Amino acid sequence: MTPAISVAGLTRGYRGHLALDRVTFDVERGSITGLLGRNGAGKTTLLRILAGQEFPSAGQVRVFGASPAENDQVLRRMVLIREDQVYPDFKVRHALAAASWCYPGWSSELASSLLADFGLPPDRPVKKLSRGMRSALGIVTGLAARAELTLFDEPYAGLDAVARQTFYDRLLADYAEHPRTILLSTHLIDEAAGLLERVIVMDRGRVVLAAAADDLRGIATTVSGPVLAVDDFTAGHEVWERRQIASQASVVMVGPLGEGDWARARSLRLDLEPLTLQQLVVHAAAQPAETTNAGSFAAAAMERTSA
Amino acid sequence: MRTLVNVARYHLTQPLIFVGMVWAIMAFSFAVNLAIFRLVPATSPPAHYTGAVSIIYVFFFIMGVFATGRSLPFGLALGVSRRSYYTGTALLAVALAAADAVALTALQAIERATNGWGEELHFFRVPYLLDGPWYLTWLTSFVGLALLFAYGMWFGIVYRRWSIPGNVTFIAAQVTVVLAAALLISWLHGWTGVGRFFTALSAAGLTGLLAALTAALLVGGYATVRRVTV
């Protein structure tokens, strides 16, 4: 089966800077993928190109095996929910009605139950909505469309923690009943981590990491304790980061931990803490451009996969 | 075809802009004109001319601007290609122009039958342009309204893509084209010919010219919308 998304060598240049620099990755059908990275990493540009709203400068983009640009057959199978969506001068229910005409899989029941969940008044003009309410409208549209490919770009700007949890819950529940391919760009990585089956990390227009979320858990560990013990424990491992205060050290060590490692750490009085997804992303995105760590990440992820 | 109809329906979720407001303004303008000509003394021969029917044409331009400048981003967010969006919007323009031209033609017939609403008012009759048989009135109104909508669409698209500087450049480009044509005619000593052409031109002939211009505007807008990003 052709992948939902297949991107090769995708480049998008604007005057004086590269928003996307030879981006290459695939997204298989039926998965939830997190698109992570700092502001300006190129996430929105990438999603806009996937949805045919922007054009690439070079490279190849395939959605369901065909170019999405000006392709109604492909476009109607996907939806892009943007944080900065511009709406015409109409009411919430008009936006939903228009979406219901355009998406064959649209579920009115889901839309109305989501409206109730988010407390979104259908008769309110869109321009009178608060930032959070606007985001909620995007979420309702994106979920109720049940599009085969659902792209969310920072869908919950301005939404409170309770509403965000509602989004995660409803997304998972509906995804379980109606499997589809979801690509979610977000800054709230740890919050969404439980949702993500795969992650793609971008930095300065490049993909620095693409892996299954499970493969990344435990890929690196923070080892802290007395300096000598830490050095002893981490000897022979690749080290990403090292901090030392007086006789205490804290080191980020790459590589999976075995059964014996935990016991050994206990006897050396060391604290072991696996890096969270968010810490991994921060680490991946913090590397200088010329010494990108993608190789080391990929190698570590692969080692983990084969183990 | 279904997608095109969806695009038209999408626009009509704002009935105020595309149906209601234009006729509300027309009604108001008509009432004002009627009141004014009731006050002013009768002329001889009795006839009160007003160009107020042009309001509907101005409003069709505004509709065109809204249909692209304002509504395009969400339209594209609904999984519609630029081509479909543009074609659907243009079809709506044609349908609205045809329907409103019917209304204008009917109102003109009433105006004729009631001797200018009893006040010798020429509101829906415009000398030379909209003064012929009903079918020519319909045709000229239809073409005129569609023309202005198409022109507005192009402005809206340019605004969407290049914002205010784009629209300023767009206007400057049009002025330049007209100026270049004027200069060319002057160099070729062609003004006599141009004058003769327009004095000989019938309202029907002018309508044909406007139809050609509408087609050109639609092609221009289409070429521009294909490059729009949102």
Q: Phi-psi region for residue B79, left (φ > 0), alpha (ψ -120 to 50) or beta? A: left
Closest CA to A276 of A238, A220, A230: A220
pLDDT attached to residue A301: 55
pLDDT attached to residue A129: 95
A5-211: CATH homologous superfamily? P-loop containing nucleotide triphosphate hydrolases (3.40.50.300)
**CA–CA separation, B22 vs B43, rounded Å?**
31
**CA–CA separation, B96 vs B19, rounded Å?**
8
Determine whether the interchain pair B76/A70 forms a contact, defined as Cβ–Cβ distance below 8 Å.
no
Number of residues that make up chain B: 230
Give the pLDDT confidence of A140-179 residue by residue, as tens digits.
Answer: 999 999 999 999 999 988 899 999 999 999 999 999 999 9
Contact residues for B187 (Cβ-Cβ < 8 A; gap 6+): none
**Encoded tokens for A51:** 């949805």
Angle at B153 between CA B151 and CA B157, to 5 degrees: 120
**B179–chain A nearest CA distance, Å:** 33
User: Does residue B230 contact residue A153 with C-beta atoms inside 8 Å?
Assistant: no
**B92 in contact with A at a CB cutoff of 8 Å?**
no
Out of B10, B81, B229, the one facing A98 most closely (by C-beta) is: B10
**CA–CA separation, B60 vs A68, rounded Å?**
33
Determine whether the interchain pair A72/B70 forms a contact, defined as Cβ–Cβ distance below 8 Å.
no
**CA–CA separation, A141 vs A100, rounded Å?**
9
Residue listed under structure tokens 């839309």: A111
pLDDT attached to residue A197: 93
Between the alpha carbon of residue B149 and those of residues A67, A189, A278, B19, B113, the distances in Å are: 32, 47, 51, 13, 30
Residue listed under structure tokens 């009731």: B38
User: Does residue B18 contact residue B96 with C-beta atoms inside 8 Å?
Assistant: yes
The torsion angles phi and psi of A13, rounded to 5 degrees, stand at -105, 140
Number of domains in chain B: 1
What average pLDDT does the segment A116-135 reach? 95
Question: What DSSP element (H or E) covers B173?
Answer: helix B134-187
Out of A88, A101, A102, the one facing B71 most closely (by C-beta) is: A88
**A101 in contact with B at a CB cutoff of 8 Å?**
yes
Whether pLDDT at A294 is above 70: no
**B192 in contact with A at a CB cutoff of 8 Å?**
no
Q: Which of residues 12-41 of B touch A (CB under 8 A)?
A: 13-14, 17
Domain presence at residue B230: no
pLDDT attached to residue A259: 82
What average pLDDT does the segment A60-64 reach? 96
A156 CB neighbour count, 10 Å cutoff: 26
Return the residue of B nearest to A71 by Cα.
B81
User: Does residue B153 contact residue B62 with C-beta atoms inside 8 Å?
Assistant: no
**CA–CA separation, A81 vs A51, rounded Å?**
10
Residue listed under structure tokens 């700092």: A38
Whether pLDDT at A271 is above 80: yes
* Dihedral sign of CA atoms A204, A210, A140, B15 in order: positive
Architecture per CATH, domain A216-306, reads as 2-Layer Sandwich (3.30)
User: Does residue A45 contact residue A54 with C-beta atoms inside 8 Å?
Assistant: yes
Q: Please, what is the end-to-end C-alpha distance for chain B in angstroms?
A: 24
pLDDT attached to residue A296: 55
Ranges of H-type helices in chain A: 43-50, 72-75, 92-102, 108-118, 131-144, 161-177, 189-192, 213-216, 227-234, 259-267, 277-286, 294-306
pLDDT attached to residue A307: 41
Distance of CA B154 to the CA centre of its chain: 13
Instruction: Tabulate helix, strand, coil % of chain B (nearest 5).
Output: 80, 5, 20
pLDDT attached to residue A283: 80
DSSP assigned state of A275? P
**Encoded tokens for B4:** 């095109």
Out of B66, B76, B84, the one facing A53 most closely (by C-beta) is: B76
pLDDT attached to residue A8: 96
Question: What DSSP element (H or E) covers A274?
Answer: strand A271-274
**CA–CA separation, A170 vs A302, rounded Å?**
33
**Encoded tokens for A212:** 């299954």
**CA–CA separation, B90 vs B156, rounded Å?**
13
pLDDT tens for each residue of chain B, 230 residues long:
889 999 999 999 999 999 999 999 999 999 999 898 888 877 767 778 888 899 999 999 999 999 999 999 999 999 999 999 999 999 999 999 999 999 999 999 999 999 888 888 889 998 888 888 999 999 999 999 999 999 999 999 999 999 999 999 999 999 999 999 999 999 999 899 999 998 888 888 999 999 999 999 999 999 999 999 98
Between the alpha carbon of residue B142 and those of residues B108, B136, B137, the distances in Å are: 14, 10, 8
Strands A5-14 and A206-212, by their bridges, are: unpaired
Domain presence at residue B143: yes
Return the residue of B nearest to A81 by Cα.
B77
User: Does residue A74 contact residue A63 with C-beta atoms inside 8 Å?
Assistant: yes
Domain extent listing, chain A: 5-211, 216-306
pLDDT attached to residue A298: 53
Three-state SS at A134: helix
Which residues constitute the domain of residue B127? 2-225
Domain presence at residue B55: yes
**B87–chain A nearest CA distance, Å:** 13
Stated pTM of the model = 0.89
**CA–CA separation, A121 vs A137, rounded Å?**
10
Give the pLDDT confidence of A205-245 residue by residue, as tens digits.
Answer: 999 889 898 888 778 899 999 999 999 898 888 888 889 99
How many contacts does A have with B, using Cβ atoms within 8 A? 80
